[in-house]
Amino acid sequence: MDTRKDNWNRLDALLRQAERGGVKSLEVAELRELGLLYRQAAADLSAVRTDKTSRMLEQYLNRLVGRAHNFVYSGKRISPLSLWEFMVHGYPRLLRRLSGYVYLATAITIVTAIFGMLITLVRPEFAQIYVGPDMMATINQHKMWTDSILSVKPAAASGIMTNNIMVCFMTFAGGVTGGLFTLFSLYNNGVMLGVIATLCAQHGMSLSLWSFIAAHGALELPSIMLAGAAGLRLGAGILFPGMLRRRESIAVAGAESVQLVAGTIPLLVIAGTLEAFLSPTHAPVALKFSVGAFLFVGLMFWLTEGGRTVVSDSV
């Protein structure tokens, strides 16, 4: 263990030098040493994760490896192949490493959605104010407010993608407030979902609502939760630096959270296309639910299994 600690301290020293003067401040031999120590620390981290009594050590190694990762791979040029490698291998591993934040963002969304349902049942006037008079009037007429999308599909697709990406970005960027705005954004999205679901159920429109949401929602809703997880990770890096200096903690948290939210962009592009060209149409309900189920199962398989065969980059 003493040898391990010496290696960790040496890696930390090299990282501090690189953080002060950049990668160019390291000699060729030091760069090679940095890469070797990074891989050793990554292996140590994998071993420590199996011991539930070593949480503090796991957090320390997690941060150390995260800092090293940014320098070890900073010299790689961005190319279609590197982006593909990140999405196929790197992104699922990053998400699994930050799974606690994903679970928290998901739990907040679910709890606030339940709250929205309950408050709509107890205080109907709250729901009417929350959705606004125009949407409430449409629901009272037992019509879907999404029908207008059909007449402007191409423009709608572009607008939906832009709006969804902006929502996710704002949810993530809210992390700079220590996660407060991220929490508010997750709360707002959850309550809105609960309120609308309850109103539609009360007006006999549940099938219309969920068949509309099914296809694109399989990717859009998880993307919002991933963006929320990214914001919470950034907020945690600001508020709880742990064994790192606050500047280092913010740098590590910022790098991880940016990568986490960046991975949602292709998901939102697909979701926006479906929301414009399939969700509001009169296509068979079974088709919409089938598309949604296929995409969600594929998403879960990618996030849970992606990158497990690549050992050397397991962080």
Which pLDDT tens digits describe the chain residue by residue (315 residues)?
A: 556 888 899 998 998 888 887 777 788 788 888 888 888 888 888 788 777 777 788 888 888 888 887 777 665 566 687 788 888 888 998 999 899 999 999 999 999 999 999 999 999 999 889 889 988 999 999 888 776 665 555 555 677 778 888 999 999 999 999 999 999 999 999 999 999 999 999 999 999 999 999 999 999 999 999 999 999 999 999 999 876 678 878 888 898 899 999 999 999 999 999 988 899 888 999 999 999 999 999 999 999 988 776 443 333
Q: How far is the C-alpha of 283 from the C-alpha of 286, rounded, in Å?
A: 8
- What is the reported pTM? 0.75
CA distance 100 to 104: 6
Instruction: Report helix, strand or coil for 241.
Output: coil
In the chain, where are the structural domains located?
A: 2-75, 99-305
Name the nearest CA neighbour of 181 among 231, 252, 224, 226.
Answer: 231
Nearest Cα neighbor of 261 from 153, 166, 145 is: 166
Q: What is the rounded CA–CA span in Å between residue 20 and residue 35?
A: 18
Cβ 172 vs Cβ 263: under 8 Å: no
Is 259:227 a contact under the CB 8 Å cutoff?
no
**CA 65/CA 73 separation, integer angstroms:** 12
> DSSP alpha helices (H): ranges in 203-241?
206-239
What are the backbone angles phi and psi of residue 240, rounded to the nearest 5°? Answer: -130, 75
Question: What six digits make up the tokens of 283?
Answer: 């296509």
The full length of the chain comes to 315
